[in-house]
Amino acid sequence: MVIPVHDVNPARRTPWVTYALLAANIVVFAALTPGALGSLTGGSDLADLCRLQAFLDRYAAVPRELIHHRMPDLVPTGGTGVGPQGPGCVIGPPGYDKSPELSVLTAMFLHGGWLHLLGNMLFLWIFGNNVEDRMGHVRFLLFYLVCGYAASYGFALSDAGSGEPLIGASGAVAGVLGAYLVLYPKARVWVLVPFLIFLPLRLPAWIVLGLWFVLQAVYSSGQGVTDAGTVAYVAHVVGFVVGMLLAWPLKPGTPPPPEPRGVLFGRRAR
């Protein structure tokens, strides 16, 4: 998988919504998610894990709750205890009311770790500004949320009995990638290709994002990956397709990206 680092496609106006989404995701993870700082320093313990489970169960989207619109009888309370199998997290009746529909929104700002967060924010940082520039601030925010909701419900329909929390901005960010592919397929993207060392290349967006989508589609079928049960690849695919469809009407009026200067694939770019 290539790692994008920069696109040769300057925006005409400041992407305030993209900046706000980046800041909100980082703040929610670093300041509000239990054990986030401990995971960075390696200082997490059972108490942090139990608080995190309770936090995610309350604010994450759970497929079973989205489809059947009801909460389970027992949920993690955030406390620790000792049972027949040894120390563990205490479960009990929920002491709060939860709206499954609203949980999709809150889940978009939750992440399972620093790599999960930084990966999503990297893609949003590189590709979000141009999509926001084309759509405008308000429409881009609505677009982002619609893609996130579609991705979450799409995954829930594919695994309606799952009680595992669904978290992350991946579905919404995938929608941004789909829109970028439609609007700026010929834009050049600087990427790092892991081949013994990280080799920098400048590739067309349709190759970078097309490859990303193909991999997500393959992974969603459970092929070529061992963690298919812990990563919501179906949500990535749904978000990407919805992003493409929503951006398609804007394609005719989208100005082309500037022609890059310098050497490209061993030839001088015009």
Distance, in Å, from the CA atom of 27 to the CA atom of 112, rounded to the nearest integer, reads: 14
pLDDT band of residue 49 (cuts 50, 70, 90) is confident
pTM summary value? 0.89
**Residue 134: predicted pLDDT:** 96
Question: Average pLDDT, whole number, for the chain?
Answer: 88
pLDDT in tens, 169-207: 999 999 999 999 999 999 999 999 887 778 899 999 999
**Residue 270: predicted pLDDT:** 42
Q: Of 77-91, 92-106, 113-127, where does mean pLDDT reach its minimum?
A: 77-91
Q: State mean pLDDT over 120-130.
A: 97
**Residue 253: predicted pLDDT:** 85
What's the burial of 139, exposed, middle or buried (CB within 10 Å: 0-12/13-18/19+)? middle
From residue 269, how far is each of 55, 175, 188 by CA, in Å?
Answer: 51, 30, 11
Largest CA-CA distance found in the chain, in angstroms, rounded: 71
Which tops the pLDDT comparison, 1 or 84? 84
**Residue 161: predicted pLDDT:** 87
pLDDT in tens, 6-46: 999 999 999 999 999 999 999 999 989 887 766 555 556 78
The three-state secondary structure class of 7 is strand
Q: Which residues contact 207 (CB under 8 A, 6 or more apart)?
A: none
Closest CA to 173 of 212, 138, 205: 212
pLDDT above 90 (res 265): no
pLDDT above 90 (res 151): yes
**Residue 228: predicted pLDDT:** 46
